A and B are shown apart, each in its own frame.
Chain A
């Protein structure tokens, strides 16, 4: 395939898909306004797998003509990106698609977005990872899986491991929306939103017949994977079935056994010039990081039925079970016996949902998606003291969530000769119920003492509801204006625990947020984007009720917190050209009433909770006085060169300050916690759809991060003086013979560099090989 023929790109006739609708809802141009829309194009088209970067989008991508199809009228000339089309093209957003994942071979769902601008992935353990988006993470970034909200009311301050519980092997695409986005995505979307989309059944090109039933087909697939850095051996089996004309089914199960991770070596702490010791604890070879192995099992089933043209019903089940996963920074904790360890014996997430989609409804509800879901998240922690101690501290938390979300997009209505209006609106409702308990067990007496309370207050309840709407006004071919808002309520309820002076919580907050922006396209290849969007997060049950030992120290709840609110102002340019694609954004993000950790004196510790007063450092969550401020730049540049060569580079920088949690006239503001350093990536190589081969060299780099928040300085995960910079080179190669075989190799960290993502407890993998093989038909 020649460079230009390969560079064929869509000159789409719309500003984007109907905003708010799921990407899958869109039909191809041929489907628009025709009965063909009854069956999605990707399910029917041979070779409809999502293309790799540098290839024209198909299949699961939101279709560029969607608006045209929906509106059937005037069109705005835009260039379809070859790197993946975001759900909301007017936002700062990037997409990672399945074929890219099959090249990069991420270890986890968070790892899958490591190469995206504005994203930085922290790891408290090898079995945990938390993506930072524009310097925020955890409860300040919202996660979605197939339009199901994953965030619940126990998402804690700072990094958490919950995106790791999405099985990367089931993902078809992951989209990162950077910047506040609560209008569309509800609470927690302060730093951004991460939208993951699973693989659908019926995506394979050929349908071998079974006996005399030509409408039935089975596509088994086997995935095997191993990597030398941690001795991982794992895989997945799946069966993609067509059950008649209207029903497809994908069932799969996977697992892996991961050993201790071998790093390039130990870090030199910038502040001391000495080797940084625990955490993590290294084996005698100075490279193997103890307390990093774990096991994982997954199972999923996804049934898609299309009972009538324009209607699709999905029933899906995703189960993730992680077992025996040590929290590396506490396995062992600094200064504790080397065999002391905090383990997540169980980190489970079970999700089931049913959704109904309509794609050719009446003008006021042209596309509709309604999803009803139930989810259970379980954490069972077990801490052994080591050193022959018979003491074992255990905790178990179960979060049961039920949710309902409806997203509706209108037809595009002409308001005049040059004006067209479309609106996305909807509502969502989520309720969490928490079961939490903790105990101490002594093996020498086999006696267990149940503690007065668990990490959370048992029986706590959290309810969120909201309704939103967002309209887009297209003015001719060059301008799109957007405005929207959301209003809603959040209610938290928890019974107090007098024994530990845990206050009862009965709080209700109302909220209203808005956002808007513009896109100017002076020429089809160029878009200038400006956005002003709000984010919102009511204090959740973790803020209001939890007590826990975090990385920096003991964290105490505060039942009197106020909601956090954020505002993102961003401006950027997008270039879409057959040879080059550029995304560049500058942003400023304010977080008002930021919930931050404020040190408090041991004398203020609650009675009945000796763990508080005994901790070396103690923090209570408090709303900051004044606004925290982040600003940054981020960009991605992709060039498509002749002979199927390409090069891609990203760069991200964030600078965050927040009010000093401790009153200090000399230092009224301090750095925000764990804001990533200046970092970026470079990828260059050969990728041919015609031959099926790819060969890519990749480089990841970051500079020293020595801007540390007060809590960071007490955090043993961060070396004295900050986290050193690094440069890591990976080489990738592979061969794809769809749909029968895929062999993909990554020679990781060729230089065997010792490096650590800022805020992590584990160093990155050392020189190693990842082998990924898929076989199927």
Chain B
């Protein structure tokens, strides 16, 4: 791959100039689920979002967490002790519905981007951003799915706004619906503007490369998290092989003892949560085994018991995913105090995107005061040590267990 030499030289020049001149202007991200895409200011007490003092961060403690009686638990005597009938995933492994899903390629794309932009502490160059964007923009790659991603946590688009020429489950492909329902149409409505802005700035050398990389990482993790949840639903409302996509969006195509992408992040922080997410994915797959698509094409075709189990399994997955994503955010919060310079700015930029992802659920779960703490925290230009401590406490309160 090669870029236009002139443009590359121009971008490098612009990059070095702007990075030197504007480092303090472009540190934090201002992105929340509210949809702002401004780059924000660095703020904070250290001028580069460096924290004065050391927040007291308790270790992750999930010792008191126990599955719900309704949870699918293949690791517990191969599901013999739960209420779920015997099924294909009782051995604790994930078993594909069909051939390997293309989702694996997209998660591998995430890993390739990670190697180029933020892994191993590297400072990405403009060429790195261009190469990463090639991966992102590839046919059938991450961008193609971000453009169509819906967040099923939000209400569906009302029928009166449906485009009759488009299938009901593809209404987010209609531009006017993206504008009107950006939370539901989260990919094109929320994620894509962040990613386009970050890639473009990184390619042209504007601002701080690490910040752009962090914003890309946070948004892509958000996408993986949203997609895992969404595909486990469409496994029963659209195509059975979407179960495989759900599994792959979480694990990148690995069994529970491995995982890249989101699973790699979560597993590094908590085996328990990782296993619970995996169990949630397996619960939906288990149900597809019990109710195969050739006999029960969509959710409405399932008997009442099947529909109940689907609700339980999907909710189990949702809870675990929230905990997993909260752990990622928690870990980044905890690290903020140890970082300085552009790394600190980048970390905070990450949190300003990833943190608000949890806000809807936090508001729903409460307590309201803790949810407000999180909202206030991620709206800051830069937190103090106390803000971080409060934020971590709020996360542990709202999302205590997978």
A residues at B contact (CB < 8 Å): 277-278, 281-284, 286, 332, 334-340, 383, 385-391, 393, 440, 442, 444-452, 499, 549, 554, 599, 601-603, 605, 610-618
Residues of B within 8 A of A335 (CB): 148, 170, 173
With both chains docked as a complex, state the minimum distance between the C-beta of B109 and any C-beta of chain A, in angstroms.
5
Residues of A within 8 A of B139 (CB): 383, 393, 549, 611, 614-615
B11 within 8 A of A: yes
With CB as the reference atom, state the residue of chain A lying closest to B168.
Answer: A277
- Pairwise interchain contact B196-A450, C-beta atoms closer than 8 A: no
Residues of B within 8 A of A549 (CB): 139-140
CA–CA, A390 and B196, complex, Å: 8
Q: Would A387 and B3 be within 8 Å (CB), given that A335-B170, A440-B137, A605-B105 are in contact?
A: no
Residues of A within 8 A of B4 (CB): 447-448
- Pairwise interchain contact B143-A281, C-beta atoms closer than 8 A: no
Interface centre among B131, B148, B173, B175 (most CB of A within 10 A): B173
B209 within 8 A of A: no
With CB as the reference atom, state the residue of chain A lying closest to B166.
Answer: A277
> Restricting to B200-254, which residues have a CB under 8 Å from any CB of A?
200, 203-204, 253
B138 within 8 A of A: yes
CA–CA, A610 and B102, complex, Å: 10
- Pairwise interchain contact B102-A615, C-beta atoms closer than 8 A: yes
Q: Would A338 and B137 be within 8 Å (CB), given that A387-B192, A450-B2, A605-B105 are in contact?
A: no
CA–CA, A393 and B283, complex, Å: 39
Residues of B within 8 A of A390 (CB): 196, 200
A-B contacts, 14 listed (Cβ < 8 Å): A277-B166, A277-B167, A335-B173, A337-B147, A338-B175, A385-B137, A387-B178, A389-B147, A440-B134, A440-B138, A448-B7, A601-B100, A602-B100, A603-B100
With CB as the reference atom, state the residue of chain A lying closest to B174.
Answer: A338
With CB as the reference atom, state the residue of chain B lying closest to A610.
Answer: B138
- Pairwise interchain contact A602-B178, C-beta atoms closer than 8 A: no
Residues of B within 8 A of A618 (CB): 99, 102
With both chains docked as a complex, state the minimum distance between the C-beta of B94 and any C-beta of chain A, in angstroms.
15
With both chains docked as a complex, state the minimum distance between the C-beta of B104 and any C-beta of chain A, in angstroms.
5
Residues of B within 8 A of A385 (CB): 137, 143-144, 147
**Contact bitstring B86-107, A, C-beta under 8 A = 1, else 0:** 0000000000000111111110
Contact partner of A451 among B1, B142, B199, CB < 8 A?
B1
Q: Would A602 and B143 be within 8 Å (CB), given that A278-B166, A389-B196 are in contact?
A: no
- Pairwise interchain contact A602-B130, C-beta atoms closer than 8 A: no
Q: Would A445 and B105 be within 8 Å (CB), given that A452-B1, A614-B140 are in contact?
A: no
- Pairwise interchain contact A281-B102, C-beta atoms closer than 8 A: no
What bracket does the count of chain B residues touching chain A fall in? 35 or more
B residues at A contact (CB < 8 Å): 1-4, 7-8, 11, 99-106, 108-109, 112, 130-131, 133-135, 137-144, 147-148, 163-167, 170, 173-175, 178, 188, 192-193, 196, 199-200, 203-204, 253
With both chains docked as a complex, state the minimum distance between the C-beta of A290 and any C-beta of chain B, in angstroms.
9
Residues of A within 8 A of B140 (CB): 549, 554, 611, 614-616
With both chains docked as a complex, state the minimum distance between the C-beta of B230 and any C-beta of chain A, in angstroms.
12
With both chains docked as a complex, state the minimum distance between the C-beta of A652 and any C-beta of chain B, in angstroms.
33
List 18 other contacts, CB 8 Å, given A388-B188, A448-B3, A614-B109: A286-B165, A332-B173, A335-B173, A337-B188, A385-B137, A389-B196, A390-B200, A442-B133, A442-B203, A445-B7, A445-B203, A449-B130, A602-B101, A610-B108, A610-B109, A610-B112, A611-B138, A614-B103
With both chains docked as a complex, state the minimum distance between the C-beta of A457 and any C-beta of chain B, in angstroms.
16
Residues of A within 8 A of B100 (CB): 601-603
A-B contact count, CB below 8 Å?
165
- Pairwise interchain contact A614-B105, C-beta atoms closer than 8 A: yes
CA–CA, A335 and B187, complex, Å: 13
CA–CA, A611 and B203, complex, Å: 22
With both chains docked as a complex, state the minimum distance between the C-beta of A449 and any C-beta of chain B, in angstroms.
5
Q: 8 closest A-B pairs (Cβ-Cβ)?
A: A613-B105, A614-B105, A602-B100, A614-B140, A611-B139, A391-B137, A444-B200, A610-B138
- Pairwise interchain contact A602-B109, C-beta atoms closer than 8 A: no
CA–CA, A277 and B137, complex, Å: 26
CA–CA, A293 and B174, complex, Å: 21
Interface centre among B100, B106, B142 (most CB of A within 10 A): B100
- Pairwise interchain contact B3-A611, C-beta atoms closer than 8 A: no
- Pairwise interchain contact B200-A602, C-beta atoms closer than 8 A: no
CA–CA, A610 and B7, complex, Å: 25
With CB as the reference atom, state the residue of chain A lying closest to B7.
Answer: A447
Residues of B within 8 A of A442 (CB): 133, 137, 199-200, 203
- Pairwise interchain contact B164-A284, C-beta atoms closer than 8 A: yes
With both chains docked as a complex, state the minimum distance between the C-beta of B150 and any C-beta of chain A, in angstroms.
11
Residues of B within 8 A of A605 (CB): 105
- Pairwise interchain contact A387-B104, C-beta atoms closer than 8 A: no
With both chains docked as a complex, state the minimum distance between the C-beta of A394 and any C-beta of chain B, in angstroms.
12
Contact partner of A337 among B2, B11, B112, B175, CB < 8 A?
B175
Interface centre among B137, B163, B175, B188 (most CB of A within 10 A): B137
- Pairwise interchain contact B1-A602, C-beta atoms closer than 8 A: no
Q: Would A616 and B101 be within 8 Å (CB), given that A335-B173, A385-B143, A448-B3 are in contact?
A: yes
Residues of B within 8 A of A601 (CB): 99-100
- Pairwise interchain contact B7-A286, C-beta atoms closer than 8 A: no
CA–CA, A687 and B141, complex, Å: 58
Residues of B within 8 A of A554 (CB): 140
- Pairwise interchain contact B135-A445, C-beta atoms closer than 8 A: no
Residues of A within 8 A of B135 (CB): 610
With CB as the reference atom, state the residue of chain B lying closest to A614.
Answer: B105
With both chains docked as a complex, state the minimum distance between the C-beta of B10 and any C-beta of chain A, in angstroms.
10
- Pairwise interchain contact B148-A337, C-beta atoms closer than 8 A: yes
With CB as the reference atom, state the residue of chain A lying closest to B189.
Answer: A387
- Pairwise interchain contact A613-B108, C-beta atoms closer than 8 A: yes
CA–CA, A477 and B20, complex, Å: 96
With CB as the reference atom, state the residue of chain A lying closest to B139.
Answer: A611
CA–CA, A424 and B203, complex, Å: 64
Residues of A within 8 A of B130 (CB): 447, 449
Residues of A within 8 A of B133 (CB): 440, 442, 449
Contact partner of A449 among B3, B99, B101, CB < 8 A?
B3
Residues of A within 8 A of B173 (CB): 332, 335-338, 387
With CB as the reference atom, state the residue of chain A lying closest to B103.
Answer: A614
Residues of B within 8 A of A616 (CB): 101-102, 140
Contact partner of A336 among B137, B144, B165, B200, CB < 8 A?
B144
